[in-house]
Amino acid sequence: MGIQGMELFAIGVVIILFMAVLKQFGILEPMSSFEDSSDSDLELSTVRHQPEGLDQLQAQTKFTRKELQSLYRGFKNECPSGLVDEETFKSIYSQFFPQGDATTYAHFLFNAFDIDRNGSIRFEDFVIGLSVLLRGSVTEKLNWAFNLYDINKDGYITKEEMLAIMKSIYDMMGRYTYPCVRDEAPSEHVDKFFQKMDKNRDGVVTIEEFIETCQKDENIMNSMQLFENVI
C-alpha cells in the first residue's frame, strides 16, 4: 500500500483487515454455506457467558437468524468461554502481522469493541459492531470509526489520539508499504488530516466535524462501500 493511502486506510479499510483476520482464524464462516442446526437458541452449556436470545440479537442487528447462528458457531469454536479478552486480540494480530508490531493497534480495536469497558468482548458486542461495519449506514460506520479514534471516550478526538492510532497502524503495516515509511510520516499525515477536520481550530475534532469532513471526501465515501458484502 502506498504511503499516500494511509489516512484513508486508517479511516475505513483497516476494518477490512480485521475481517480478514477473523476469517483467517476461523471466527467467521461463509454465510452462504450455513445450514440450519440445533444451535437456534444460541446455547452452549460449557461457556462462561451465555449470549442474549437470538430474537433479541436479531432485533438489535441487521443480521438474519441464520447469519447470527453462523457467526455464533465460529465465535464459540474460537472462544469456548463465550468471551474474548485483549490478549486473544493481540495474539491473533501478532500472528497475522509477524513482521510488524500489531500490539497497540489490537489494543485500540479491542477497546472499540469492548462496549461495556470491562476488559472482555461478548458475542453481543461482537455482532453489534459487525452489524454496524457491514450493514450500517455511512453515518453509523463513521460514528464507529470516531469511537475508535476517541481513545479516552470523552466525545472528542485530539491530535494526540489521532497520532496514536496512526502510529499503531504504521507499526503494524509500515514494513509492507512502498516506498519505506519515514519516521516522521505519521506525524505529517496527522497534521494534514487533523487540520482538515478541525473546522473551528479549537484543537479537537467533534463527531460533527469528523462526519462532515468524511462525508465530503470522495475517497473515504468510496472506502465505505468496501464494507458491503464482506460476509
pLDDT, mean of residues 49-73: 82
pLDDT, mean of residues 132-151: 88
The pTM (predicted TM-score) of the whole model is: 0.76
Query: Structural domains in the chain?
Result: 9-22+62-223 (1.10.238.10)
Write the pLDDT tens digit of every residue in 94-122. 877 777 888 998 899 889 888 888 888 88
Write the pLDDT tens digit of every residue in 164-222. 988 888 888 765 554 455 667 778 878 888 988 999 999 999 999 999 998 888 777 77
Q: Is the distance from CB of 172 to CB of 97 less than 8 angstroms?
A: yes
For residue 163, pLDDT over 70 is answered with yes
pLDDT, mean of residues 115-140: 86
pLDDT of residue 167: 86
Dihedral Cα 101, 104, 110, 111, nearest 10 deg: -170
For residue 153, pLDDT over 90 is answered with yes
Q: How far apart are CA 126 and CA 57, in angstroms?
A: 11
Name the DSSP class of 51.
P
DSSP 3-state assignment of 204? strand
